[in-house]
Amino acid sequence: MAGSPNNSNEIDNKEENLRECNKEEEAVKEMAPGSSAPIHRSSSRPQLDVSGAAIQGNFEERNPTILLPNQSDDISHLALDIGGSLIKLVYFSRHEEQSLDDKRRRSIKKRFGISNGSRRSYPILGGRLHFVKFETGKLNECLDFISSKQLHLGGLDSPSWRSGTRPEDNAIIIKATGGGAYKFADVFKERLGVSLDKEDEMDCLVAGANFLLKAIRHEAFTHMEGQKEFVQIDHNDLFPYLLVNVGSGVSIIKVDGDGKFQRVSGTNVGGGTYWGLGRLLTKCKSFDELLELSQQGDNSNVDMLVGDIYGGMDYSKIGLSASTIASSFGKTISESKELLDYRPEDISLSLLRMISYNIGQISYLNALRYGLKRIFFGGFFIRGHAYTMDTISFAVHFWSKGQAQAMFLRHEGFLGALGAFMSYEEHGLDVLRAHQLVERFPMGAPYVGGKIHGPPLGDLNEKISWMEKFVQKGTEITAPVPMAPPGTTGVGGFDRPSSRGNTLRSDASAALNIGVLHLVPTLEVFPLLADPKMYEPNTIDLSDHSELEFWFMVLSEHLPDLVDKAVASEGGTDDAKRRGDAFARAFSAHLARLMEEPAAYGKLGLANLLELREECLREFQFVDAYITIKQRENEASLAVLPDLLIELDSMNEEERLLALIEGVLAANIFDWGSRACVDLYHEGTIIEIYRMSRKKMQRPWRVDDFDMFKKRMLGCGDKKPPPHRRALLFVDNSGADVVLGMLPLARELLRRGTEVFLVANSLPALNDVTANELPEIVAEAAKHCDILRKAAEAGGLLVDAMVSVEHGLVDNSASVPLMVVENGCGSPCIDFRQVSSELAAAARGADLIILEGMGRALHTNFNARFRCDALKLAMMKNQRLAEKLFNGNLYDCVCRFEPAGEQQQHNFS
């Protein structure tokens, strides 16, 4: 099963689920970082919180709260697409935002008047949209699954949740489409007591496609010679488009809008013709086998090529090259061979090309006829089959002379089920925007794509033992990572009739994984982005295979160290060791899968890749692998902070500003994500390293806009520019980085009368400081500094020590406030298209943002433009990136200042 292996076979009964849940809660409590953290006092901090809904992904798979259908936060919808070979389920589980707030969050909410989702006329349900497949032949498994999750009792239109009871005579209605919706209606009635409300197949197909193309940022992709490239489609410019559904036959649908479409054409020569003829002409037992066979074929043994007619010459007058297929199967006419004399491989390839090129041609002609720019292909002939996608793409390219491109959809197999889902009256999906959707993949159980069923993975234990087995049995799957770039198979070429390249790519690689779609209404687009439509977080394009290889290597090398840290963070128990081991295997397998198919989990950027690691850690219940290190470093850094502040205060304003920026850059050397720095750690203490690093701060830096920044801050001559009203400081690592680097800079801004928001991760990622750790750090620092203390009081941060914000914000006119907001992420990078609502609210009044550290200022957002002043500070700790970005070196410093609304040259030295 492509999407969620964890739940497909989960047929636990209610009691088991509940018990499991309790176990889990206990486990979470035991591992809660607060309980053992000296400076982290809030042990009640929930593991699943507001933003957690977005990033704690896979807890749901084990979360049995879904069994309580009458509770408002557990309503689920279910819709089915029952096809000839597969049953597709789409169901929604609602997850109410956790109401357990900490004081910091309450204070922020109060300040900004955020009440979850209230800005909308009716609240969008937060929750998760699941995609699950079953083989139609195994209908019972599907019924068991529905029954165990009680999905059929939760439908919004069902009377059960309205009244709390289920009237005997009033059957629950489940939306369904596909031929089987008729065929199996009685079975559903009998087994589950539900009636299937049959929705028109084409209506569903179109509704599903429209939803996906609008709501999912990179839903569509092109597929040329094995290479997928995701295409971002402006949802305002989506219609009209052509939807070509290649099933047994082919339907060609012109879509003009939501619910507006017309079947304009079709052909009887479709997937059924390929597979039907293929079965008759070869001994293949399955469609997949036939396709696989085609890749060893040479169609020039069967097809009559232009060169065969013209004695090897091109018919150049009309632009036909010698290898163009003049007549599919035409060569078999003039030979006295019989069927058995031909290689089945050659026949399969000829068939594949014959049918695919024909579909491509007819589709293209229809697109031309109706003046449509985009053609999307779907259906079982296409679904997950790299080879058919390649040949169709080639055909469209060929017939259109490069003017048109075939596109495919990631969730293609679920169009019908999604459409059926959309046919419920109140599904709440139509108002969703791309930024409110986060897709999460089950990290605990990677497996080869395209399989219908994963192993039955009920709980963590099963996950671990499966990983152990997976590695034992499946080393051949994960171990030989194909390092040659994909895409050289050349299946698509009229011009390369022998069809094979150097590497033989598995067809299954095209079966993209489908994750769980998390609907998070609280996520917003960062309001200060200059051009949200053009914004691309990732600086480096991982579609360059060598980049992917590089990061694969970096992450692999770093893995043992990470596992050590993770295991140590939980006291090195046997259980932790076992989980650590399983994590390492799971993550390695994910990496291997990504190397084989970079598009497996959708568009892959470095931010996604790094987040994947954190997700994977969380999945194996490592709550915070670097907790001990973070605490130790925070303590060490806080101990020397007073001396540093005294030193800074002895300088004049100008010296101080430079010293502060130097300090940020120097302190940014501490980074457990960087190999180079991890080596450093073994050689000296934090303070030694910091001082050494400071000494090396020779200007000009590699990117040095300091003078420009200084001018904005201090002006020149007598003209003093007004201070910024509000600054957002995106902090990076714990320890020296935040304590000795960013805090003193924040203090300076506060001193100048600028409100400061420290923006930190919602969830741990490496040794990055998190939003719930920051108040403690600030409180500790405030003990030695009046500026920080007053500001923190004003910002409601010193809640325990000072006045409770319960009674209103502290009126302390003596100081502008210092506050902490969470960014909504659990990754070392930040994607500004999806940030927490509190960050978005804070940003609305900000006129300066400072991004600090590699993850947020270089790997992502180096090229991002903002509508306010932006300062990007980082020390380069990656030789390759240094070379790539500015021909630089390890430990080069970046101080990039971009004044609001200006595009200008930076000083690269």
Partner 1 sequence: MELPHVKLELSGAEISGNLDERNPPICLPNQPSDASLLALDIGGTLIKLVYFSGGNEGNEQIGSGNATPGGELRFVKFERRRLGDCLEFIKSKKLIHDSGIITGLSNGHVAIKATGGGAYKFADVFKEKLGVSLDKLDEMDSVVAGANFLLKKIPGESFTHMDGKRTPIEINQKNLFPYLLVNIGSGVGIIKVTGNKIFERVTGTHIGGGTIFGLAKLLTGCTSYDDFLKLSQQGDNLVLDLIVKDICGELACQKQGLSASTLASSFGKVIDSKRKLSDYRAEDLATTLLSAFTYNIAQISFLVAALLGLKRVFFGGSYIRGHASTMDNISYAIDYWSKGQMQAIFLRHEGFLGALGALMSYENLDVDDLTLEDVKEQVKLVNHLDLFTIHL
Determine if 349 is a binding residue for partner 1 (CB under 8 A). Answer: no
395 or 881, CB closer to partner 1? 395
Q: How far is the CB of 454 from partner 1 (least distance, A)?
A: 27
Q: How far is the CB of 323 from partner 1 (least distance, A)?
A: 12
Whole-number Å distance between alpha carbons of 423 and 60: 25
Locate 404 and state its tokens: 């048109």
Locate 752 and state its tokens: 């100048």
Instruction: Render the burial of 318-350: b for 16+ CB within 10 Å, e for the rest.
Output: eebebbbbbebbbbbeeeeeeeeebebbbbbbb
Determine if 390 is a binding residue for partner 1 (CB under 8 A). Answer: no
Determine if 260 is a binding residue for partner 1 (CB under 8 A). Answer: no
Q: Between the CA atoms of 21, 22, 27 and 33, what dihedral angle is there, to the nearest 10 degrees?
A: 90
Out of 59, 112, 239, 310, the only residue in the binding site for partner 1 (CB under 8 A) is 310
Out of 327, 503, 879, 907, the only residue in the binding site for partner 1 (CB under 8 A) is 327
Using CB under 8 A, which residues numbered 689 to 708 contact partner 1? none
Q: 854 to each of 106, 221, 539, 868, 886, how far by Cα in Å? A: 31, 30, 11, 21, 14
182 SS3 class: helix
* DSSP one-letter code for 716: S
Taking Cα atoms as reference points, which of 98, 196, 204, 99 lies closest to residue 142? 196
Determine if 271 is a binding residue for partner 1 (CB under 8 A). Answer: yes
φ, ψ for residue 78, nearest 5 deg: -140, 135
Determine if 182 is a binding residue for partner 1 (CB under 8 A). Answer: yes
Determine if 267 is a binding residue for partner 1 (CB under 8 A). Answer: yes
Name every residue whose Cβ is closer than 8 Å to that of residue 546 and which is 6 or more positions away in sequence: none
Query: Which one of the spans 19-27, 49-57, 264-272, 506-514 is the region binding partner 1 (CB under 8 A)?
Result: 264-272
Residue 87's CB is within 10 A of a number of other CB atoms, namely: 26
Whole-number Å distance between alpha carbons of 593 and 812: 55
107 or 265, CB closer to partner 1? 265
Determine if 740 is a binding residue for partner 1 (CB under 8 A). Answer: no
Determine if 399 is a binding residue for partner 1 (CB under 8 A). Answer: yes
Determine if 210 is a binding residue for partner 1 (CB under 8 A). Answer: no
Determine if 303 is a binding residue for partner 1 (CB under 8 A). Answer: yes
Query: Which one of the spans 134-142, 227-235, 334-342, 562-570 is the region binding partner 1 (CB under 8 A)?
Result: 334-342
Q: Which residue has the tokens 């040329």?
A: 224
52 or 307, CB closer to partner 1? 307
Taking Cα atoms as reference points, which of 189, 183, 112, 130 lies closest to residue 10? 130
Preceding amide of 817 cis, omega within 30? no
Determine if 758 is a binding residue for partner 1 (CB under 8 A). Answer: no
Out of 6, 93, 158, 265, the only residue in the binding site for partner 1 (CB under 8 A) is 265
Q: How far is the CB of 607 from partner 1 (least distance, A)?
A: 43
φ, ψ for residue 353, nearest 5 deg: -70, -40
Determine if 347 is a binding residue for partner 1 (CB under 8 A). Answer: yes
Query: Which one of the spans 44-52, 198-206, 613-621, 738-746 is the region binding partner 1 (CB under 8 A)?
Result: 198-206
Whole-number Å distance between alpha carbons of 633 and 204: 56
277 or 873, CB closer to partner 1? 277
Whole-number Å distance between alpha carbons of 249 and 569: 57
Out of 107, 332, 608, 674, the only residue in the binding site for partner 1 (CB under 8 A) is 332
Determine if 234 is a binding residue for partner 1 (CB under 8 A). Answer: no
Determine if 249 is a binding residue for partner 1 (CB under 8 A). Answer: yes
Determine if 285 is a binding residue for partner 1 (CB under 8 A). Answer: no
Whole-number Å distance between alpha carbons of 857 and 853: 6
333 or 813, CB closer to partner 1? 333
Out of 238, 368, 559, 676, the only residue in the binding site for partner 1 (CB under 8 A) is 368
Name every residue whose Cβ is closer than 8 Å to that of residue 307 and which is 6 or more positions away in sequence: 313, 314, 321, 322, 323
Taking Cα atoms as reference points, which of 106, 107, 20 lies closest to residue 65? 20
199 or 732, CB closer to partner 1? 199
Which alpha helices (H) appear in 377-451, and where do they start and end? 386-399, 415-422
339 or 814, CB closer to partner 1? 339
Q: 590 to each of 466, 481, 593, 624, how far by Cα in Å? A: 14, 11, 5, 21
Out of 117, 123, 240, 272, the only residue in the binding site for partner 1 (CB under 8 A) is 272
Q: How far is the CB of 296 from partner 1 (least distance, A)?
A: 19
Determine if 270 is a binding residue for partner 1 (CB under 8 A). Answer: yes
Using CB under 8 A, which residues numbered 65 to 84 contact partner 1? 84
Rounded (to 5) percent helix, strand, coil in the chain: 45, 15, 40
285 or 807, CB closer to partner 1? 285
Out of 39, 185, 309, 714, the only residue in the binding site for partner 1 (CB under 8 A) is 309
Determine if 394 is a binding residue for partner 1 (CB under 8 A). Answer: no
Query: Which one of the spans 14-22, 222-230, 260-268, 719-727 is the region binding partner 1 (CB under 8 A)?
Result: 260-268
76 or 265, CB closer to partner 1? 265
Taking Cα atoms as reference points, which of 91, 68, 65, 87 lies closest to residue 78? 91
Using CB under 8 A, which residues numbered 116 to 175 contact partner 1? none
In the chain, DSSP finds a helix count (H) and a strand count (E) of 32, 23
Query: Which positions touch partner 1 (CB under 8 A)?
Result: 84, 179, 182, 200-202, 247-249, 263, 265, 267-273, 275-277, 279-281, 302-304, 306, 308-311, 313, 315, 317-318, 324-334, 338-339, 342, 347, 353-354, 357-358, 361-362, 365-366, 368-369, 399
